[in-house]
Amino acid sequence: MLRTHTCGELRVSNIGENVTLCGWLQRSRDLGGMTFIDLRDRYGITQLAFNMDTNAELCENARKLGREYVLRVSGTVAERSSKNNKIPTGDIEIIVENIEVLNESKTPPFTIEDKSDGGDELRMKYRYLDLRRTPVRKNIELRHKMGIETRNYLNGLGFIEIETPFLIKSTPEGARDFVVPSRMNEGEFYALPQSPQTFKQLLMVSGYDRYFQIVRCFRDEDLRADRQPEFTQIDCEMSFVTQDDVLNTFEGLAKHLFKHVRNVDISGLPRMTYSDAMKFYGSDKPDTRFEMKFVELNDVAKGKDFKVFDDAKLIVGICANGCSEYTRKQLDELTDFVKRPQIGANGLVYIKFNLDGTVKSSIDKFFNEDALKAIGAKFNAKAGDLILIMAGACEKTQKQLCELRLEMGSRLGLRDPNVFSPLWVVDFPLLEWDEDAQRFFAKHHPFTSPKPEDLDLLESNPGAVRANAYDMVINGVEVGGGSIRIYSRDLQNRMFKALGFSEEEAQKQFGFLLDAFEYGAPPHGGIAFGFDRLCSLFGGSESIRDYIAFPKNNAGRDVMIDAPSTISNAQLDELKLILKK
């Protein structure tokens, strides 16, 4: 090795030792008689000291070195006179005897510090430099740890990791495919997997009853918010299991990761039905770090000549404890918040239960004190509470109030990223009606099994059928989801019919899987976790990009390598492709 120690390793116990270190020049300070250099590698920073009195030539040389030069230095470990208790090596420094410049560096386009002066785009263009920064490195290390602990846990339970191909045909996740033209098969295309779904089910047919894979998936979706066109899943499948078995197994994975990566003990994951999640939180991924549950008010709020309420399908509210003193301005802010186009509400009704016992609301004209108190009673509102109410169409109003609830949670400091509240949401609807297409789509994917007790409804009332499908939700984020699969051909055909697939269409797209199911498919089910998102959640960040070494920007571009890019005419010819002008 070119070094005896790393830059994060030396302590007081090493004083007097002769050592050789390699690393990058983080910064240098020239104090006249002395020069100090901070030498950095993946493991930390060590201070190098040069003294004009004892070795003027070396000191002069050291002064010429620029930021991010790659150095190899030898010297003696000495105790520092002024210690730095902020870093683990802060008690010592190296009295340098020899310095070798392994490589020079241009001045980096932004500072390689915890808080860099570089903007997002610039740091992405030079991502290899951004990755040198400690906070970014810590994220990448956390991701590594998450991967290792996932493998440890699943391996311990007899799961085996099996790779599945990337050049395949459409998978059933319902997004747009990335396609790859085939040179050897003119006019034909592969699709990149949106997930290994069909392959993992085939592996169950093959008898590999506990499969997992930490695997890249590709979905060509518009990259709103925090999405990446390629992302990683912890993909799993099991045979001969019930839904409870799957939930218990992966509850175990969640607990294992929290314990080993964050040292947090999770007692268990409560299970909430989809319909309760919508009713009480207005979302199928409720943030249960705080209560502030929805209360439906149709029975006490209708019939008071307030048209907005009388015309509404749903009148529903939340109670923000201790917020009765909100000012006009604060209430206006909340109203503006729900009226933003992204949320699209028409307005917001408030009732203040003041500390002096009086009640004040924006609907005083229609509701006398008794009527307001009747609403308050539904929330068990106390003096000091603020009730916020929205009204309108059912699902729309629930979603809008969900946004307001989260906003209030944030304002009240109830959404601490270091508090974790995981749960299972179960009993999702099997199908979802699409107004534009005027047909049902699978809410999860077409291989998800209906609940046996709802089977009779599949033809008569498809929208009411519940699925053996589940999501793991942590802090309002869906981190994973899966289902118990259909394994009988008959039921699969009924499902395709409900989805409006003709037999030929189903055969064309998924014939290989349906054929395989004719050869003894075991009952099976599984789950996939969004690994990037799980990492960002464990790291206490909202952005998955921070946890991906080489992410793409919002336009799906890698600005560092400048991809996607055009290809040569020769390549196009070879692929027999003609570009439309």
List interacting residues with ligand ASP (CB under 6 A): 173, 195, 197, 481-483, 526-528
Q: How many CA atoms lie within 13 Å of 135's alpha carbon, on the beta-carbon side? A: 11
Q: How many CA atoms lie within 13 Å of 406's alpha carbon, on the beta-carbon side? A: 17
Which residues are within 8 A (CB) of 493 and not within 5 positions of it... i.e. 6 or more apart? 503, 506
Nearer to ligand ASP, 429 or 482 (CB): 482
Nearer to ligand ASP, 178 or 367 (CB): 178
Query: What Cα–Cα distance (Å) separates residue 550 from each residue in 68, 160, 208, 215, 361?
Result: 21, 28, 33, 16, 52
Nearer to ligand ASP, 528 or 534 (CB): 528
Nearer to ligand ASP, 178 or 379 (CB): 178
Query: What is the nearest approach in angstroms of ligand ASP to the Cβ of residue 485?
Result: 8
Query: What is the nearest approach in angstroms of ligand ASP to the Cβ of residue 191?
Result: 15
Q: What is the rounded radius of gyration, in angstroms, for the C-alpha atoms of the chain?
A: 30
Query: What is the nearest approach in angstroms of ligand ASP to the Cβ of residue 453?
Result: 21
Nearer to ligand ASP, 352 or 485 (CB): 485
Query: What is the nearest approach in angstroms of ligand ASP to the Cβ of residue 217?
Result: 7
Query: What is the nearest approach in angstroms of ligand ASP to the Cβ of residue 100?
Result: 51
Nearer to ligand ASP, 195 or 475 (CB): 195
> Whose structure tokens read 């747009």?
176
Q: Are 80 and 92 in contact (CB under 8 A)?
A: yes
Q: Are 309 and 361 in contact (CB under 8 A)?
A: no
Query: What Cα–Cα distance (Å) separates residue 530 from each residue in 108, 214, 251, 507?
Result: 34, 10, 15, 29
Nearer to ligand ASP, 201 or 475 (CB): 201
Query: What is the nearest approach in angstroms of ligand ASP to the Cβ of residue 197?
Result: 4
Query: What is the nearest approach in angstroms of ligand ASP to the Cβ of residue 530?
Result: 8
Query: What is the nearest approach in angstroms of ligand ASP to the Cβ of residue 194?
Result: 7
In angstroms, the CA 139 to CA 546 distance is 7
Identity of the residue numbered 116: S
Nearer to ligand ASP, 50 or 218 (CB): 218
Q: Are 40 and 69 in contact (CB under 8 A)?
A: no
What does the block give as tokens for 105?
Answer: 């560096």
Spell 429-466 as b/e; 16+ CB within 10 A means b.
bbbeeeeeeeebebbbbbbbbbbeebeebbeeebeebb
Q: Around Cβ 550, how many Cβ atoms within 10 Å? A: 12
